[in-house]
Structures are given as C-alpha cells and as structure tokens.
Amino acid sequence: MTTSAPPPIYATAVFAQNKPGALLSIPPLAAATTFYVDAGRVRTADGRELLILDVEARARVADALVRDLASVFVVETGPLGFVRDYPIEPARSL
C-alpha cells in the first residue's frame, strides 16, 4: 500500500510594476480554504501545496512572503476573471 501527496495547485504569479508583493492566481477550487505559509511554502489546510513552477518567480514570492505576508494575495481566477480571494496566514503552531 502506498500513499501519495495531494495534488499541487499550480499558481500563476503576478507582479505589479509599482507595488511590492505578489498576486498568486489559482484555478477554481472545489471548496474554500485558507492558505498557510511555512518556510517559504504555501499550503492549503489539507496539505495541498500551492506551486509556482518558475524558479525565479518562486524566489520572488518567497521573498515577498518573508518581507510582508499581507502583500501577497491568493485569488481564484476563472475564465471570466476574478472570482474570490483566499486568506493567507502564517502556519499554525502544532
């Protein structure tokens, strides 16, 4: 019997010319969630990792998360545009 990690959520990283921080756009999710940040990684409450495939963009987002968590936004985007935003918080202590 094997176990597998939950599938990642692939994000589009969006950087604004005039503003610090980043906007992470994800496809529609089946259920609302909160994203938690831990050691530069962003995960849902049930462990799905929000993945930025581009190495440089990932590093820039990690930097923004360290500098000011409130400057990073996770938004759900559908074919028609913005759908909703999700909370992003520091990882909960166990």
Partner 1 sequence: MSEQLSRLQAFLADAGDLEVVAPPADVRLDYFARFARLAGAALVATQVAAVAAPSPARAAVPTPSVSSAALSSENSVAAEKTRIVAAMRSVQDLSARYLSAGRSPTSARIVMIDPEKLPDEGPLAFIEPGEVCRIEGIRTDYSRTDPRLAVMADTPATRAFVLIHESMHCRLGPALMNHVAQSTAPMAYEFAVRFNESSADAYAVLTLARKDGIPAALAVLDRVTAVREAEMLLPESEGHHDSRDTLRRVRAVLEHTPERLDSDDAAFSLAITEALAGASTALERAEPKEYRVYLQSADYAADMQRFHGTVEEMARGYLEGAHGLGAPKVILNNLFMAPRAPARMSPWGLLAKLRPAEHGFTAATLRKDVEEITRSLARDVAASATSKHAIADNDGPAPVHASLAGSPERHAVSIGRLRSRLDGVYSGVLHSTGASELTDPAADHENLDRPGL
Query: Which residues of this protein are in contact with partner 1, per CB under 8 A?
Result: 10-19, 21, 23, 25, 27-32, 51-54, 56-57, 70-71, 73, 75-85, 87
CB of 1 or CB of 80, closer to partner 1: 80
Tokens encoding 69: 């968590």
CB of 43 or CB of 72, closer to partner 1: 72
21 dihedral zone (left: phi>0; alpha: psi -120 to 50; beta): left
Helix (H, G, I), strand (E, B) or coil at 75: strand
CB of 80 or CB of 94, closer to partner 1: 80
Neighbouring residues of 80: CB distance < 8 A, sequence distance ≥ 6: none
In whole angstroms, the minimum distance from the beta carbon of 38 to partner 1 comes to: 19
